[in-house]
A = this chain, B = another copy of it.
Amino acid sequence: MRIARIEHAGGIDHAVAEAEGYRLIEDVYADEIRCLDRWVPGAEARLLAPVEPRTVVGMAHNTGPGDRLLPPQAFLKPSRSVIGPGEPVPVAADLGLVHAEAEVAVVIGRAGTVLGYTVANDVTGRDLQAQDSLWTQAKGQRGFTPLGPWIETDLEPAGAAVGLAVDDEVAPAADTGQLARGVAEVVAWVSGFLPLGPGDVILTGAPGASLEIRPGQQVTASVAGIGELVNPVVEGVHGRRTERGAA
């Protein structure tokens, strides 16, 4: 089942995505998903980020098997850095090198269960990352966490193909089977120490290469069995602050 979050004439709702449109859901975090008798045609809906998390946590150095030699490490991204499909990723000129990373994102449901999976683009400022050992500036800028296009509840995440493209540049094929720690192991490890709740998101790590993004380009992250998450990259106005924080 595909669960989207849509904006339509009646407001913002979670809805089951069907071929011709969306069937609204009563409560996406209920024990059982029940649909309302309300239908929104596809043309009258805009896809939003599939959740509004209170916590976005990602796995550090969870790529190839060599990372297995390191202890697991997690980072946090600001929950308000989440944007939806089609929303622009702002990249300010003074940020230096900025990369896109395509990942499977786990969406937490009620009472610590996994509701499903979506696609994440873990946008990361590489130059900032080299200068800030805590990664907060590198990972935490406005618009740096595209999520979508919807939540797939039936995905088998253990061997899902993960793709990344920036305009015509396509990253080599990769899949979650290459992750040093697989999706299920990541969920168990993170939820072991960190408080998670409904709508929270775990970025499980990028099994493939990251690609540079610059204003004017379009970035597409994809997971086989979920779909494609496409975002334009635009000129950002915020960027890095001076040391004294002058605005």
Contacts and interface: CB of A to CB of B under 8 A. Distances in A.
A126 to B, nearest CB: 16
Contact of A76 (B60, B136, B197, B200): B136
Interface in A171-199: 181, 185-186, 188-189, 192-197
Contacts of A75: 134, 136
A54 B79 contact: yes
B133 A81 contact: no
Contacts of A168: none
Interface in A24-75: 52, 54-55, 57, 60, 71-75
Interface string A127-143: 00001111111001110
A192 B244 CA distance: 11
Counted per complex, copies of this chain come to 2
A244 B180 CA distance: 11
A136 B241 contact: no
Interface centre among A78, A141, A193, A241 (most CB of B within 10 A): A193
A239 interface: yes
B136 A192 contact: no
B142 A78 contact: no
A128 to B, nearest CB: 9
A123 B20 CA distance: 50
Interface residues of A, number: 47
A242 to B, nearest CB: 9
A239 to B, nearest CB: 7
A9 interface: no
A8 interface: no
B131 A78 contact: no
Contacts of A2: none
A133 B133 CA distance: 7
Contacts of A196: 78, 80
Nearest to A135: B134
Interface of A: 52, 54-55, 57, 60, 71-81, 131-137, 140-142, 181, 185-186, 188-189, 192-197, 200, 238-241, 243-247
Given A80-B200, A136-B194, A137-B194, 13 more contacts: A52-B54, A73-B134, A74-B134, A74-B137, A75-B136, A78-B195, A78-B196, A79-B79, A141-B193, A189-B241, A192-B247, A193-B238, A193-B240
